[in-house]
């Protein structure tokens, strides 16, 4: 009996990781006064230090 080939097809070209521009990750923040902000995740430390905190939006 012929064994079924279960290997992944590789005839389709794989997308290069660099072919699509990475969307910057942003954080959702609020503060005690009710303001909202969406800074870049990489900048979050400075915002948290001045009283902003994360919120699920």
Partner 1 sequence: MTTNNNIGLTLYGVAGSPATNNKAGFEALTFVQLKGTQSLPVFGVTHNNIDVSDLGTGFTSGVKGAATGKDTTLTFHGDGTDTGIATAILAANAQSGVYSLKIVRGSGTDGGDGPAPVAGDVVQYAHGYLHTYEENPKDDSSFEGASINFKQNAATVDDVEPS
Beta-bridge mates of residue 21: none
- When asked if residue 55 is in the footprint of partner 1 (CB under 8 A), the reply is no
Tokens of 42: 């990489």
- When asked if residue 33 is in the footprint of partner 1 (CB under 8 A), the reply is yes
- When asked if residue 21 is in the footprint of partner 1 (CB under 8 A), the reply is no
Q: Which residues make Cβ contacts (< 8 Å) with residue 45, sequence separation at least 6?
A: none
Stretch that binds partner 1, among 4-12, 14-22, 26-34 (CB under 8 A): 26-34
Tokens of 26: 């942003």
Q: Where along the sequence are the contacts to partner 1 (CB under 8 A)?
A: 26, 31, 33-40, 43, 46-47, 49-52
């Amino acid at each position: 009996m012929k064994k079924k080939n279960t290997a992944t097809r590789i005839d389709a070209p794989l997308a290069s990781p660099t072919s699509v521009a990475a969307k910057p990750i942003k954080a959702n923040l609020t503060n005690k006064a009710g303001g909202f902000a969406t800074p870049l995740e990489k900048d979050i430390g400075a915002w948290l230090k001045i009283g902003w905190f994360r919120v699920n939006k």
